[in-house]
Amino acid sequence: MNCIIIDDEKTARIIIKKLSSQVENLTVVDEFSNAIQAIKYLNENEVDLVFLDFHMPDFNGLDFLKTINKPLKIILTTSDPNFAIEAFEYDSIIDYLLKPIELPRFIKAVQKVENHLSIANGNTNDITIKNDFYVNIDRRLIKIDLHSIYIIEAKGDYINIRTEEKNYIVHSTLKK
């Protein structure tokens, strides 16, 4: 799987390259200190994955997401946890890594991209079904075990998820 890194911090690019070298079948083909250079590269080249820093001067990760006009698989990297919820509003963002990035979490994010690529290519043999999912409650992502849910109710613009341990009220509809 070929990837590029977009991060204004040289140290962050070095760390992601080092982590990538420890993952089988993941190759960093180029790196960029700003998103504009990366867009020019992506207009002429194909990659499987983009590691994208959210906070960059002049043209940040959000600007990149709004500008890029091709389907990409992106792992967002940032030192600010407050952008996780906003990040997942974009279909191209597969995962979100909080700096400093640890190898086990990095590997998990790359595996998510591999699963997405397998589905896109029609290969579903290696896909595992997750037993949990995340919901946005009060601008925080809460992990809920699927097996603990005994009822999900729609109430207007809210969903009530009842589990064995707790009730969760999510501001969303079942129509999405």
Name the segment(s) of the chain with CATH classification 3.40.50.2300.
2-120
What was the pLDDT predicted at 115?
A: 87
Convert the pLDDT of each residue in 111-168 to its tens digit. Answer: 999 988 876 666 555 545 567 777 778 777 788 888 888 888 888 888 888 888 888 8
Assign a CATH topology to domain 2-120: Rossmann fold (3.40.50)
Q: For residue 168, what are the contacts with CB-CB under 8 A and spacing of at least 6? A: 135, 137, 142, 144, 160, 161, 162
Give the CA distances from residue 45 to residues 41, 105, 134, in Å, rounded to whole numbers and listed in that order: 6, 28, 34
What was the pLDDT predicted at 40?
A: 94
